[in-house]
């Protein structure tokens, strides 16, 4: 074993011979650790995103927050659309992507699975402009470390056909959960849709919170066995009413236009698209409240283009793209300054999109077994298997 004195003599000998001593190799950063500094941009960037989240003006020229980024950064953007959080997690597990706009029912799964890396917020110059309520949100912050940059948030909506409901909008989720006669005199059977994702169990639980208080549900993502079984029973009854389970936003738009859908859970994105097509559509947050999503742009642990990824992370929270995205999707910006002086969003756009609902929305979260001191809840894997059985009619 070489002692410090011998090592020093060896260095002196190399210098005396006119040779530079070799520098010790840098200690590599632990896998998943935040980058310490940025380098040259790689010229490409791949993003997994929800439909409508990364627009380059192909659907409407007014909505484009990609072209300018590509020109300024030199990073060519490619987008893979994911229809559900489970699909997004599967794609991130597969690898080969840089970023994903993960919702709260996926983000912590990606962290615990070691699929995403910590974000060095000092390399995101606009971090300080974020809504303070979101900077340390529990769906992307673990142990004081940030694993993403907030992107947008909003509420799941009850979309309905105004020709069916007339001038009086539905005020309850009962129109999609319980068999009933709609205002046009016809049953809702076969005329409603439900979301094709296990997290929809929380929507059933939220409905039961209001209509079966004896179950004692206080958190739709933390259900004990009795509460979970009641939610599944409600969904099994709903199965007889559902004409289609949706996960493709574009397909749902077509269904409302062509297939006579009367009501469904939906996103503001579909409602806005339908309105742009002059379809008889409107939406409401019913009296029971609503679930919602707060999405975070997360970087893959093996992102092939980390420097372009960091460039996008900062671009994505600039005032202009934040306001444009909120106008396009019907969501709420994570940068409150984006609510002002945006021609597409308008002065009241953020209020219309639900800015004041933050405290009342039940944001998507991955259910876990350990849900409180001395309390055991049904974990997400059972939500998955049970909801698959519901959709399959079992």
Domains, the chain, with CATH or none? 44-153+293-362 (3.40.190.10), 157-289+365-391 (3.40.190.10)
In the Cβ-directed half-sphere of 164, how many Cα atoms lie within 13 Å?
23
For tokens 């910590």, the residue is: 118
Question: What pLDDT, on the 0 to 100 scale, is given for residue 292?
Answer: 95
As a whole number of angstroms, the distance between CA 161 and CA 287 comes to 18
What is the mean predicted confidence (pLDDT) over 217-228?
A: 97
Alpha helices in 56-131 (DSSP H): 67-73, 85-94, 104-112
As a whole number of angstroms, the distance between CA 29 and CA 48 comes to 25
What is the mean predicted confidence (pLDDT) over 336-340?
A: 97
What is the mean predicted confidence (pLDDT) over 246-258?
A: 93
Please say if the pLDDT value at position 327 is more than 60. Answer: yes
| 3-57 pLDDT per residue, tens | 333 333 343 343 344 444 444 443 445 677 899 999 999 999 999 999 999 999 9
Q: Counting every residue, how long is the chain? A: 394
| 52-93 pLDDT per residue, tens | 999 999 999 999 999 999 999 999 999 999 999 999 999 999
What is the mean predicted confidence (pLDDT) over 231-257?
A: 95
What is the mean predicted confidence (pLDDT) over 131-142?
A: 95
Q: What is the DSSP letter of 2?
A: -
Calculate the alpha carbon distances from 103 to 88, 152, 236, 315, 354 in Å: 9, 10, 26, 19, 18
Please say if the pLDDT value at position 234 is more than 60. Answer: yes
Question: What pLDDT, on the 0 to 100 scale, is given for residue 290?
Answer: 96
Question: What pLDDT, on the 0 to 100 scale, is given for residue 374?
Answer: 82
Question: What pLDDT, on the 0 to 100 scale, is given for residue 355?
Answer: 94
Write out the two tokens for 295: 């999405």
Tally Cβ neighbours within 10 Å of residue 171. Answer: 13
- Cβ 205 vs Cβ 222: under 8 Å: no
Residues 6 or more apart in contact with residue 159 via CB below 8 angstroms: 256, 263, 264, 265, 266, 270, 271, 274, 281, 282, 283
Question: What pLDDT, on the 0 to 100 scale, is given for residue 17?
Answer: 41
Question: What pLDDT, on the 0 to 100 scale, is given for residue 29?
Answer: 55
> Quick one: pLDDT band at residue 131, thresholds 50, 70, 90?
very high
Partnered with residue 77 across adjacent β-strands are: 45
Tally Cβ neighbours within 10 Å of residue 94. Answer: 11
> Quick one: pLDDT band at residue 164, thresholds 50, 70, 90?
very high
> Quick one: pLDDT band at residue 107, thresholds 50, 70, 90?
very high
pTM of the model: 0.84
Compare 160 and 8 and report the one with higher pLDDT: 160
Question: What pLDDT, on the 0 to 100 scale, is given for residue 188?
Answer: 97
Please say if the pLDDT value at position 239 is more than 90. Answer: yes
Question: What pLDDT, on the 0 to 100 scale, is given for residue 371?
Answer: 87
- Cβ 367 vs Cβ 223: under 8 Å: yes
When the pLDDT of each residue in the chain is averaged and rounded to a whole number, the result is 91
Residues 6 or more apart in contact with residue 382 via CB below 8 angstroms: 228
Calculate the alpha carbon distances from 9 to 14, 18, 202 in Å: 9, 14, 69
Q: What is the DSSP letter of 81?
A: E
Question: What pLDDT, on the 0 to 100 scale, is given for residue 283?
Answer: 95
Strand locations in 138-183, DSSP E? 141-142, 145-146, 149-155, 157-161
Question: What pLDDT, on the 0 to 100 scale, is given for residue 345?
Answer: 95
Question: What pLDDT, on the 0 to 100 scale, is given for residue 32?
Answer: 78
Q: How many helices (H) and strands (E) does the chain have?
A: 15, 16
Phi-psi region of 185 (alpha: psi -120 to 50; beta: other; left: phi over 0): left
What is the mean predicted confidence (pLDDT) over 161-185?
A: 96
Lowest mean pLDDT among 224-238, 292-306, 347-361: 347-361
Percent of the chain with pLDDT over 70: 92
User: What is the rounded radius of gyration, in angstroms, for the C-alpha atoms of the chain?
Assistant: 25
As a whole number of angstroms, the distance between CA 14 and CA 371 comes to 62
Percent of the chain with pLDDT over 90: 86
């Amino acid at each position: 074993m070489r002692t410090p004195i011998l090592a020093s003599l060896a260095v002196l000998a190399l210098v005396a011979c006119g040779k530079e001593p070799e520098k010790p190799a840098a200690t590599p950063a632990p896998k998943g650790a935040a980058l310490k500094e940025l380098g040259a941009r790689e010229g490409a960037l791949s993003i997994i995103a929800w439909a409508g989240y990364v627009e380059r003006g192909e659907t409407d020229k007014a909505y484009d927050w990609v072209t300018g980024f590509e020109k300024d950064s030199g990073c060519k953007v490619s987008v893979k659309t994911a229809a559900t959080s489970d699909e997004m997690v599967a794609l991130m597990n597969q690898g080969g992507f840089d970023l994903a706009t993960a919702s709260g029912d996926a983000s912590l799964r990606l962290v615990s699975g070691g699929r995403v890396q910590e974000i060095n917020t000092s390399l995101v110059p606009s971090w300080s402009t974020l809504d303070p309520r979101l900077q340390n949100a529990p769906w992307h912050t673990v142990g004081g470390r940030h694993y993403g940059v907030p992107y947008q948030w909003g509420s799941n909506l009850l979309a309905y056909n105004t020709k069916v409901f007339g001038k009086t909008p539905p005020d309850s989720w009962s129109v999609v959960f319980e068999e009933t006669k709609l205002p046009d005199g016809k049953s809702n059977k076969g005329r409603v849709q439900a979301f094709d994702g296990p997290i929809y169990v929380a929507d059933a639980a939220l409905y039961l919170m209001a209509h079966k208080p004896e179950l004692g549900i206080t958190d739709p993502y933390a259900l004990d066995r009795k509460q979970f079984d009641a939610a599944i029973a409600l969904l099994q009854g709903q199965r007889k009413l559902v004409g289609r389970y949706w996960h493709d936003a574009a397909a749902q738009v077509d269904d409302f236009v062509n297939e006579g859908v009367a009501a469904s859970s939906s996103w503001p994105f579909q409602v806005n698209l339908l309105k742009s097509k002059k379809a008889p559509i409107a939406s409401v947050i019913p009296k029971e409240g609503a679930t919602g999503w707060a999405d975070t742009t997360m970087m893959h642990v093996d992102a092939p283009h980390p420097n372009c990824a960091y460039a996008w992370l900062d671009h994505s929270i600039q005032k202009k793209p934040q306001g444009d995205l909120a106008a396009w999707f019907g969501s709420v910006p994570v940068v409150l300054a984006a609510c002002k002086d945006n021609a597409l969003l308008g002065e009241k756009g953020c209020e219309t999109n639900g800015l004041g609902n933050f405290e009342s929305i039940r944001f998507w979260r991955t259910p876990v077994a350990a849900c409180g001191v001395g309390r055991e809840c049904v974990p997400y894997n059972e939500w998955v298997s049970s909801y698959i059985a519901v959709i399959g009619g079992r």
